[in-house]
């Protein structure tokens, strides 16, 4: 097949959707398919040849239509996440102007900004994209349930773009020391861009409670602070989070690594004691930071899924707590700090769970779904 891949972000732009698109493209090519890519102007310096648009406004549809006519693909795969298209509504009408069937991969079902008090229209426009596509791929169970009325749909998980790392004992000790931790410190880690839905405020509040109780716990935010395609809301959240850290007297107990190469990210994830990922909407297949931690075989504390996910097993491969509760996080961390055997169990469980997110299987299932939609 000849596949046209459209994504609002693509490396060297930071972001999970871009990383997903790059790896999926490489895997599809390895299966013998031809893949061409269209992304934002910021991805023009990508290692792979990438066509681009200057923005995602109304005129982008003309640019996309001309590009598709020239490329003449068998099928188009739109990698959809509202923020990656600058919250623009126009990408939702791609299936209407495309010269080939469009499969939309929903990394989330968040609606775009239209105008003040747009109300139900914002939800309608996302569902319009789903209904007008030849097929839809959901990255998580909740979105798959929401799209259950559509006959051509499939749940396909995302994989991790972060390679596995193995640290020697001296390497791990040196890396922990660089993050402000010694042998007696319990080091908490968070990975990925920081915004309200990631629950970072709850981690900080839990850390304050732990330290007030005399526990030597510290926190490292691994990776870039914010996504370049997200708006001012995330910037305000980060500013408020910084103020909270200062207010609680935690400046010396919280570290930010800043953006790092994948190899450095993997090393730090393997140097911490517990990954804490308290999503306010619950753990899900679509959370790339969670999948990355599973892929590394980390001990992981996260929040209960909004819908039942059979693969996520409390105490076996994840430690699950209620959503939006700093107190629940504090209690869970305190319990795990005193139970190293449970941490070993969680690490082994995560390593086993990682088999469900194998990239080769993801690519084969995606290609199979393309064929079904044709």
* DSSP letter for each residue of 71-118: H--SEEEEEE-GGGGTT-SGGGGHHHH-SS-EEEEES--PPPP-STT-
Q: Report how far residue 199's alpha carbon sits from residue 25's, in angstroms, rounded to the nearest whole number.
A: 31
* pLDDT one-digit tens code per residue, 46-88: 667 899 998 898 999 999 999 999 999 999 999 998 878 887 7
Q: Report how far residue 23's alpha carbon sits from residue 359's, in angstroms, rounded to the nearest whole number.
A: 8
Predicted pLDDT at 123? 60
Q: What is the DSSP letter of 163?
A: P
* pLDDT one-digit tens code per residue, 249-270: 999 999 999 989 999 999 999 9
> In the chain, which ranges are E strands?
2-7, 34-40, 51-53, 75-80, 102-106, 135-138, 153-155, 186-191, 217-222, 254-256, 274-277, 300-303, 319-321
Query: Average pLDDT of the chain?
Result: 91
Predicted pLDDT at 117? 42
Predicted pLDDT at 103? 98
Whether the CB-CB separation of 163 and 262 falls below 8 Å is answered with yes
Looking up tokens 């510290």 gives: 218
Q: Report how far residue 320's alpha carbon sits from residue 332's, in angstroms, rounded to the nearest whole number.
A: 9
Residue of 300, 304, 308 lying closest to 354 (CA atoms):
300
7-23 average pLDDT score: 88
Q: Report how far residue 189's alpha carbon sits from residue 167's, in angstroms, rounded to the nearest whole number.
A: 17
* pLDDT one-digit tens code per residue, 362-374: 999 999 999 999 9
Q: 310-347 burial, b if ≥16 CB within 10 A, otherwise e?
A: eebeeeebbbbbebebbebbbebbbebbeeeeebebbb
* pLDDT one-digit tens code per residue, 129-164: 999 999 999 988 988 888 888 989 999 999 998 999
Predicted pLDDT at 118? 42
Predicted pLDDT at 14? 77
90-96 average pLDDT score: 91
* pLDDT one-digit tens code per residue, 95-118: 999 999 999 999 876 644 443 444
Predicted pLDDT at 178? 93
φ, ψ of residue 7 to 5 degrees: the values are -145, 135
* pLDDT one-digit tens code per residue, 316-349: 999 999 999 999 999 999 999 999 999 999 999 9
Domains, the chain, with CATH or none:
2-159+358-373 (3.40.50.2000), 169-357 (3.40.50.2000)
Residue 226 has pLDDT above 80, yes or no: no
Predicted pLDDT at 182? 86
| Bond from prior residue into 337 cis (ω within 30 degrees of 0) | no
Q: Report how far residue 361's alpha carbon sits from residue 366's, in angstroms, rounded to the nearest whole number.
A: 9
Q: Which of 193 and 213 is assigned the larger pLDDT?
A: 213
Q: 215-249 burial, b if ≥16 CB within 10 A, otherwise e?
A: bebbbbbbbbbebebbeeebeebbeebeeebeebe
Residue 39 has pLDDT above 90, yes or no: yes
Residue 69 is encoded by which pair of tokens?
Answer: 């006519």
Predicted pLDDT at 84? 81
Q: Report how far residue 155's alpha carbon sits from residue 148's, in angstroms, rounded to the nearest whole number.
A: 11
Whether the CB-CB separation of 293 and 350 falls below 8 Å is answered with yes
Predicted pLDDT at 15? 78
Q: To the nearest whole percent, how much of the chain has pLDDT over 90?
A: 73
First vs last C-alpha separation in the chain? 10
Predicted pLDDT at 45? 67
Residue of 135, 137, 129 lying closest to 61 (CA atoms):
129
Predicted pLDDT at 113? 44
């Amino acid at each position: 097949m000849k596949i046209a891949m459209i994504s609002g972000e693509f490396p060297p732009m930071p972001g999970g959707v871009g990383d997903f698109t790059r790896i999926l493209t490489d895997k599809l090519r390895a299966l013998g398919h031809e893949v061409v890519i269209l992304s934002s102007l910021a991805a023009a310096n990508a290692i792979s040849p990438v066509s681009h648009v200057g923005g995602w406004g109304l005129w982008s549809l003309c640019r996309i239509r001309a590009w598709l006519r020239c490329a003449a693909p068998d099928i188009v795969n739109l990698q959809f996440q509202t923020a990656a298209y600058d919250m623009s509504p126009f990408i939702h009408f791609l299936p209407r102007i495309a010269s080939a069937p469009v499969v939309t991969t929903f990394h989330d079902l968040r609606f775009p900004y239209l105008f003040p008090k747009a109300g139900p229209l914002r939800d309608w426009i996302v569902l319009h994209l789903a209904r007008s596509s030849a097929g839809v791929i959901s990255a998580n169970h909740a979105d798959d349930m929401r799209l259950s009325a559509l006959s051509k749909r499939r749940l396909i998980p995302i994989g991790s773009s972060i390679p596995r790392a193995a640290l020697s004992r001296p390497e791990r000790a040196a890396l922990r020391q660089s993050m402000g931790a010694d042998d007696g410190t319990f080091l908490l880690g968070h990975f990925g861009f920081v915004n309200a839905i990631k629950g970072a405020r709850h981690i900080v509040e839990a850390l304050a409670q732990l330290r007030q109780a005399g526990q030597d716990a510290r926190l490292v935010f691994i990776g870039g602070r914010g996504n370049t395609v997200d708006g001012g809301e995330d910037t305000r959240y980060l500013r408020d989070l910084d103020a909270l850290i200062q207010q609680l007297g935690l400046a010396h107990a919280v570290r930010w690594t800043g953006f790092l190469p994948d190899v450095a990210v993997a090393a730090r994830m393997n140097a911490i004691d517990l990954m804490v990922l308290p999503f306010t909407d619950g753990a899900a297949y679509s959370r790339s930071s969670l999948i990355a931690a599973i892929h590394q075989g980390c001990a992981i504390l996260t929040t209960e899924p909004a819908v039942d996910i059979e693969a996520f097993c409390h105490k076996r491969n994840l430690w699950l707590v209620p959503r939006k509760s700093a107190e629940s996080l504090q209690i869970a961390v305190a319990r795990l700090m005193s139970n190293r055997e449970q941490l070993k169990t969680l690490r082994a469980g995560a390593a086993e769970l990682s088999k469900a997110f194998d990239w080769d299987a993801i690519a084969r299932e995606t290609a199979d779904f393309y064929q079904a939609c044709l």
